[in-house]
A = this chain, B = another copy of it.
Amino acid sequence: MTAAVPRAAGRPRDERVDAAVREAAVAELLEVGYARLSIEGVARRAGVGKGAIYRRWRSKAELVFDVAVHPAEIGPPPDQGSLRADLAGLVEIIAASLGRPASAAAAPALLAELAADPELAARVDARFIDPERRLIEALLERAVARGELPDASGAELAHALTLGACFARLHLLRRPSADPDELAAAVARALGGSER
């Protein structure tokens, strides 16, 4: 029988490991770039074993996607009272996420991995892309309930327009980030929403 070990104050161990790995992965990404980042290097920097990382993330690509590109957990943003305002909240989240230096460093290499590995792409879709689309569907359902839209069928279009415009400005056109309100108003009009 082992005596109960008093818990360290603060966050539980699991959460501390998680945070340490995330911080180490971002630091490695910025220091050595995606191609030279390794799970071993991240583990060493975080002071954990490789197993602790592989228990949480299935591959380097998934770890980097999680910590560098996508907010860890995105729930539906609070109801702002209109489709346009809800979309502006979404644009802010996407633009902030894509605009981080770690994301800019990782995005092109991740796209290359996704294009080359359909199974990885399927897992990323299930874990990140599909929930993001469902979140947009939830925003559109709210707009339907408010009488702003006739139906919520435009979720895929809204997804492509909001994510696409943010990504295009940063990586394809190299322009300053979109003004969230301006882009949100444009997407709301694109969806056929009444303007507020």
Contacts and interface: CB of A to CB of B under 8 A. Distances in A.
B129 A171 contact: no
B190 A173 contact: no
A112 B172 CA distance: 11
A49 interface: no
A113 to B, nearest CB: 8
Contact of A175 (B156, B169, B173): B156
Interface residues of A, number: 40
A74 interface: no
16 contacts: A104-B115, A108-B109, A108-B110, A108-B115, A111-B111, A112-B112, A133-B173, A156-B175, A160-B164, A160-B175, A164-B165, A164-B166, A164-B172, A165-B165, A187-B190, A189-B189
Interface string A142-153: 000000000000
A159 B163 contact: no
Given A160-B165, A168-B159, A190-B190, A173 B129 contact: yes
A191 interface: yes
Nearest to A104: B115
A107 interface: yes
